[in-house]
Amino acid sequence: MLISLTDLLSWRVRAGERRLALHDLLFEAETRRLVYVMVEPAGLAPGDRVLIAASALGVPEAEAQEMPLHLREDELDRAPRCGGGHDEMVAMLAAMPPMVIGPFGAPSAPLLMPEHERPGEDEPDPRAQAALARYDRLGDWLGHPVFARDGEAGTVSDLLYDPVAGELTHIVVDNGKLFGHRQRAVPMFELVTRAEAERGGHVVLDLTLAGLETAPLASDMLSPE
């Protein structure tokens, strides 16, 4: 069962009787495993988000377009939160220990850095740079050029996710053609590199353009609803 991440952002997260809007997805840049989701519970200040460990999520329910969240109300209320801006999110991630994937609110939940350990306002925060390097967001991929071994192939239009394995499996490449328009799913193992954002964020695949044309259509890879 594979799920489109762009579709997933329109789903809801179900925590008991509460329904939470899913705002963003963060995964490890190196392993491609989903590690955090950002949700928007009702009752917060406009634009505020809550960060939840992906390990607290249950198996997605495609028919209902919901993801169950295995956290108690008090755990959800204690989960780290920030404004919706990118800089605020990076600052929150930088203040947390890396690679902790247990549910927030549990005894092993990551704690924010004490004030006396945080860099001053005018000092560069190395933890922020590490957080940027450690995690990718879905938006870091979408719309960026894709290159095959022998030329430009299109742009990234989506990523496919295996909720059982908890990891990304395919890059969806849109060929951008008016006639013969296709969106093809390329396995992650064909990825050679993805450039940093300041270098264009382009993706390079270990495929020829002809080989890409034989890749399955993304729509054929998705779980039926």
Q: Could you tell me which residues are beta bridge partners of residue 37?
A: 25, 52
Question: What are the DSSP calls for 59-99, one per residue?
Answer: --BTTTTEEEB---HHHHHHS-EE-SSHHHHHHHHHTS-TT
Q: What is the pLDDT of residue 110?
A: 41
pLDDT at position 97 is: 56
Q: How many helices (H) and strands (E) does the chain have?
A: 6, 14
Q: Which of 131, 20, 22, 114 is nearest to 76 (CA)?
A: 20
User: What's the pLDDT at 51?
Assistant: 85
Query: Residue-wise pLDDT tens for the chain (225 aa)?
Result: 799 999 998 998 988 888 888 888 888 888 889 888 888 876 666 667 888 888 888 888 888 899 898 888 888 888 888 776 667 777 777 666 554 434 333 323 343 333 334 445 555 456 556 666 678 888 889 999 999 999 999 999 999 999 888 899 999 999 988 677 899 999 999 999 988 777 778 999 999 999 999 999 999 988 665
Phi, psi of 174 (to 5 degrees): -95, 120
> What is d(CA 216, CA 80) in angstroms, rounded to the nearest whole number?
40
Supply φ then ψ for residue 138, to 5 degrees: -55, -40
* Burial of residue 170, with CB atoms counted within 10 A of its CB: 0-12 exposed, 13-18 middle, 19 or more buried: buried
